[in-house]
Structure 1
Amino acid sequence: MKVVHFFFNMSTQLFIFCGLLITIIVTIDGAASSNLPKGFVPCKKSDPKLNECIKNGLQIAIPYLAEGVPSVGLIKIDPLRILELKINQESGRSVNLDLKFNDIDLFNLKHTQIKSVHYDSVNYNAKIEVLLPESLLLEGNYEANGNVLVVPIKGKGKCKLAIDISKVDLNVQFKPVERNGNTFMDINNLTITFIATNLNLQFENLMNADKALSNNINVFLNENWRDILKELQPNIEQFMGMALQEISQHFFNSIPENEILLA
């Protein structure tokens, strides 16, 4: 069984960047009628180049997102604080591991590039391809217990992870629903997939803080990063999708569809 748990601070809306991308798509579309702040480009549903408009608008908005946009409820995303992430990888072929992260800071989202956008306003479907030219860096605390490729892994302390991701694909299916005389957008289904080209792991205090053994295990983990990521990637993608759907839905619940897509 593979189980993913995540926790975030709803009072400050700690957004995963993928969630921000979907959210900003609709805020870009509705900018003209929603008095959104500097950095957001309005697009019209009738524009024959709607996809290009959204793509360019997303790219323009990224530097503003990096610093945060309090007026629309978006906090600073670089670094982005994730309060807690748990991955329970059981009965895996190569990895059997309980892994918990907390108070993690995620860096380099500000370098994100939007490669393509396709928004189907008739069928309420959005497809986005994102490029990440800089390594995503995660720094924080971890706790691990289990084994990787039959090597025991146990420890608690600081960790640093760097992952190179060539692209991220997002597919979101919305569903219009009527509430209080208005039509709102519910996220009916959401999937996220990514392609990674490298993963570097550094865990302090492994195996009862035996420094020599800890260093050797870190070397072993990095030499076998492909096998590790192959096992963990579905959990990571699931975590990203769950967080994106739950967080973004709060935004869609507050703005009617007619204010999202202009005629």
Structure 2
Amino acid sequence: MKIQAAIFALVALGTATAANLPSSWKTCKRDSQNYNTCLKEATTGVLKELKSGNSALKLSPLDPVRIEKITLKQGAGTAVGLTINFKNLIINGLSNGKVESMNINHKKREITIDYSLQSPLKMQGDYTSKGRILLIPLNGVGKSTLVFDDFKGKCVLRCKSVKKGGQEFWEVLKTDINIETSRLHLNFKRTQNINEGLGANLNTFLNENWKEILQDLKPAISKEFGSIFKNYANSLFSQVPFDQISPA
């Protein structure tokens, strides 16, 4: 992932085995020769296990995850002006992936994860659109589907140390995420003021200009994914000393 999200290495950092962690979660010792390789493999396994969440650790499912809203703005003040508000988005596919590389900088307290999905990432939800292409109005209300092929992401978790009961815990303060996809497919189905011609115009415009649409969507998607990953990671990190998550 240059993404991301959920996600991933955050929770995945539960690559340690401790009394209050699932015994299936692999431990990676910091001084081991293949530490980063171990982290990569262990995190991939943990993410798959967390598809349905973990009730003991109070971790919610990675599939699906939800985003309340995202806004897309295209070409404000030009002949092509379009605003689309997405709401109640449900995202499927984040757990079906592979950690390509992972690194924990214990001195800086930074976790870096590169992640790729093995199947398309799908986002579905409600939308409202307002705008026009030249003289063609693109106003609409309905259901939207966004599909990301070959989804990849890079996530950096910037943390701080928190001492509790004489033990060190990590807390994620900030996430930096970048996402990439080989193709973005967009489909919008109007449910109000239905006009098939206008619906086709919107879908045609968005899919012909998917690269530009993606660039405009990236900041909002990255921000939401970052929030998801941060909260997910902190749910784990607040319960488990980091020496158990990544033993010395």
What TM-score do the two structures reach when normalised by structure 2? 0.84
Q: Is the 8 A contact 2:74 2:216 kept in 1?
A: no
Q: For residue 28 of structure 1, what is the aligned residue in structure 2? A: 15
Root-mean-square deviation (Å): 2.7
Structure 1: tracts of 5 or more residues without a match: 1-15
Q: For residue 71 of structure 2, what is the aligned residue in structure 1? A: 87
Cα distance change, pair 89–34 in 1 and its aligned pair in 2 (3 A):
farther
- Cα distance in 2 between the residues matched to 1:50 and 1:182: 23
What TM-score do the two structures reach when normalised by structure 1? 0.80
Q: For residue 119 of structure 1, what is the aligned residue in structure 2? A: 104
**In the alignment, does 2:173 pair up with 1:185?**
no
Q: For residue 4 of structure 1, what is the aligned residue in structure 2? A: none
Relative to its length, the structure with more helix (as a share) is: 1
Q: For residue 203 of structure 2, what is the aligned residue in structure 1? A: 218
Q: For residue 97 of structure 1, what is the aligned residue in structure 2? A: 83
Q: Is the 8 A contact 1:154 1:206 kept in 2?
A: no
- Cα distance in 2 between the residues matched to 1:149 and 1:178: 59
Higher relative contact order (CA 8 A, sep 6+): 2
Q: Is the 8 A contact 2:158 2:175 kept in 1?
A: yes
Secondary structure of the residue aligned to 2:102 is strand
Q: For residue 6 of structure 1, what is the aligned residue in structure 2? A: none
- Cα distance in 1 between the residues matched to 2:133 and 2:160: 41
Cα distance change, pair 83–166 in 1 and its aligned pair in 2 (3 A):
closer
**In the alignment, does 2:167 pair up with 1:176?**
no
Structure 2: tracts of 5 or more residues without a match: none
Q: Is the 8 A contact 2:143 2:191 kept in 1?
A: no
Q: For residue 7 of structure 1, what is the aligned residue in structure 2? A: none
Shift in Å, 1:68: 2.9
Q: Is the 8 A contact 1:17 1:77 kept in 2?
A: no
The equivalent position to 1:140 in structure 2, one of 111, 119, 125, is 125
Cα distance change, pair 207–228 in 1 and its aligned pair in 2 (3 A):
farther
Cα distance change, pair 165–146 in 1 and its aligned pair in 2 (3 A):
farther
Alignment of 1:1-263 (within 5 A): 17-25=5-13, 27-29=14-16, 31=17, 33-78=18-63, 80-82=64-66, 84-87=68-71, 89=73, 96-102=82-88, 104-146=89-131, 152-205=137-190, 208-263=193-248
